[in-house]
């Protein structure tokens, strides 16, 4: 199984522009041939492209340097040089690009959206461009401009409709496997899930949503404890949350820890839609289940489920699907840049 890589630093260098040509017409029966030097082609830019088939930044950990193609030089007979090919790098949806000094370049949130992270150099002007009434035979041509070169940090924040959040061994992976076709690793020890796992939950023929199993959170996660900040940031990009609580453990204490960590990490998480899944109810009697429900705030929506026995899942799925649909209707995500920026 491939590793989950969610942060990597790469070096990108756009192609330089081709130099302009200094040339004069030399044709028989043309007594005073004028300038005919063509412009150089623009250098190729380096561009990120959103691709739903790419799930990690793993490929960028093997190759760290990327370079756009240089523009071709101008030629005589007013022939303009060919533009350098744009280098397009496929990245997962949810990828954020910043420079190593902290400047945010943008993010990719839609399939096919493009983000220029290094702009190609402008092609140099040939001597034809300098012809004027007072300068009929200019002996000047511009060199091509240099392409942008920089170090770029790519960071992936998962884009999921709903996220399973809970303490280690709360049964999130089992629940994800029961709700979708995903096959997360399941074992009886903490932090079995060390990287987020995505699964598609199909409600009916027309309704589905993406569910993410977020690795277990410990008290102090917002300060970096355990897997901490590495995975709390993935929760930011979910539309709604499913707090998974182990009915056989301290339900009230675990609930308070999860809510505190989410609220401490980012204010918007406190306002995120959420439901509670009381998991492993197949191991408890009715009295214990009732006590667990009573320990939670009355305003919370609580569903008693068992990922292993696959009971109570329909009501949970319907509630999450309704939340996701409502959020989708109201959210307004600005599209990422989808074209090359104008060269100045």
Q: Each residue of 234-277: pLDDT tens digit?
A: 677 788 899 999 998 899 999 998 888 777 765 566 677 899 99
Beta strand pairing call for 208-213 and 160-166:
parallel
Decide: residue 79, CB within 10 A, 0-12 exposed, 13-18 middle, 19+ buried.
Answer: middle
Reported confidence tier of residue 1, pLDDT bands at 50, 70, 90 = very low
Q: Tell me how far CA of residue 330 lies from CA of 17, 297, 318, 325, 333, in angstroms.
A: 44, 27, 19, 9, 10
Looking at residue 311, the DSSP 8-state letter turns out to be B
Taking the C-alpha atoms of residue 202 and residue 206, their distance in angstroms, rounded to an integer, is 8
Mean pLDDT of 97-116: 92
Reported confidence tier of residue 189, pLDDT bands at 50, 70, 90 = very low
DSSP 28-81: TT-TT--B-PPPPPPPPPEEEEE-TT---SHHHHH--EEEPPPPPPPBTTTBPP
Decide: residue 9, CB within 10 A, 0-12 exposed, 13-18 middle, 19+ buried.
Answer: middle
Looking at residue 227, the DSSP 8-state letter turns out to be T
Q: To 5 degrees, how large is the angle CA 305–CA 307–CA 313?
A: 50
Beta strand pairing call for 238-246 and 160-166:
parallel
Mean pLDDT of 42-71: 91
List the structure tokens of 168: 């280690």
Beta strand pairing call for 197-202 and 160-166:
unpaired
Contact 147, 18 (CB under 8 A): no
Is the pLDDT at 339 greater than 60? The verdict is: no
Mean pLDDT of 88-94: 91
List the structure tokens of 272: 């995120």
CATH 2.70.210.12 for domain 1-156, yes or no, is yes
pTM beyond cutoff 0.75: no
Decide: residue 303, CB within 10 A, 0-12 exposed, 13-18 middle, 19+ buried.
Answer: buried
Mean pLDDT of 286-296: 92
DSSP reduced 3-state for 153 = strand
Looking at residue 5, the DSSP 8-state letter turns out to be -
Topology classification of domain 160-330: Rossmann fold (3.40.50)
Stated as kind and residue range, the H or E segment containing 294 is helix 286-294
The pLDDT mean for the chain works out to: 82
Taking the C-alpha atoms of residue 111 and residue 103, their distance in angstroms, rounded to an integer, is 24
- Is the model more confident about 20 or about 93? 20
Compute the CA torsion angle 242, 247, 248, 252 (nearest 10 deg): 90
Tens of pLDDT, residue by residue over 152-165, are 999 887 667 888 98
List the structure tokens of 249: 């453990």
- Is the model more confident about 70 or about 336? 70
Cβ contacts of residue 322 below 8 Å, gap of 6+? none
Contact 115, 336 (CB under 8 A): yes
Q: Which residues pair with 122 in a beta bridge?
A: none
In the chain, which segments carry CATH 3.40.50.300?
Answer: 160-330
Taking the C-alpha atoms of residue 28 and residue 301, their distance in angstroms, rounded to an integer, is 89
Residues counted in the chain = 344
In the chain, which segments carry CATH 2.70.210.12?
Answer: 1-156
Percent above pLDDT 70 for the chain: 80
Taking the C-alpha atoms of residue 121 and residue 13, their distance in angstroms, rounded to an integer, is 10
Neighbours of 268 (CB within 10 A): 10
- Is the model more confident about 310 or about 28? 310
Taking the C-alpha atoms of residue 227 and residue 217, their distance in angstroms, rounded to an integer, is 7
Q: How far apart are the first and last CA of the chain?
A: 46
Taking the C-alpha atoms of residue 74 and residue 128, their distance in angstroms, rounded to an integer, is 11
């Amino acid at each position: 199984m491939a590793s989950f890589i969610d942060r990597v630093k790469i070096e990108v260098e756009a192609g330089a522009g081709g130099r302009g040509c200094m040339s004069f017409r030399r044709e028989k029966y043309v007594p005073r041939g004028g300038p005919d030097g063509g412009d150089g082609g623009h250098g190729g830019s380096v561009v990120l492209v959103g691709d739903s088939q790419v799930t990690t930044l793993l490929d960028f950990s093997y190759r760290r340097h990327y370079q756009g193609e240089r523009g071709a030089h101008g030629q005589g007979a007013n022939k303009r040089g060919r533009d350098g090919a744009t280098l397009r790098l496929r990245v997962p949806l949810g990828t954020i690009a910043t420079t190593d000094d902290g400047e945010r370049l943008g993010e990719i949130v839609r399939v096919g959206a493009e983000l220029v992270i290094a702009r190609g150099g402008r092609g140099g002007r040939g001597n034809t461009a300098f012809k004027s009434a007072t300068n009929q035979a200019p002996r000047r041509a511009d060199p091509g401009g240099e392409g942008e070169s920089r170090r770029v940090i790519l960071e992936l924040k998962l884009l999921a409709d709903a996220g399973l959040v809970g303490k280690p061994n709360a049964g999130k992976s089992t629940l994800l496997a029961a709700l979708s076709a995903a096959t997360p690793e399941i074992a009886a020890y903490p932090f079995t899930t060390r990287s987020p796992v995505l699964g598609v939950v199909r409600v009916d023929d027309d309704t589905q949503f993406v569910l993410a199993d977020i690795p277990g959170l410990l008290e102090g996660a917002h300060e970096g404890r355990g897997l901490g900040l590495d995975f709390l940031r993935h929760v930011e990009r979910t539309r709604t949350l499913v707090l998974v609580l182990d009915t056989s453990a301290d339900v009230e204490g675990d609930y308070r820890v999860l809510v505190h960590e989410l609220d401490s990490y980012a204010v918007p998480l406190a306002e995120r839609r959420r439901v509670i899944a009381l998991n492993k109810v197949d191991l408890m009697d009715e009295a214990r289940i009732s006590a667990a429900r009573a320990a939670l705030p009355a305003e919370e929506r609580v569903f008693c489920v068992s990922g292993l026995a696959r009971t109570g899942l329909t009501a949970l799925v319907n509630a999450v699907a309704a939340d996701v649909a409502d959020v989708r209707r109201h959210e307004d995500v600005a599209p990422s840049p989808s074209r090359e920026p104008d060269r100045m």
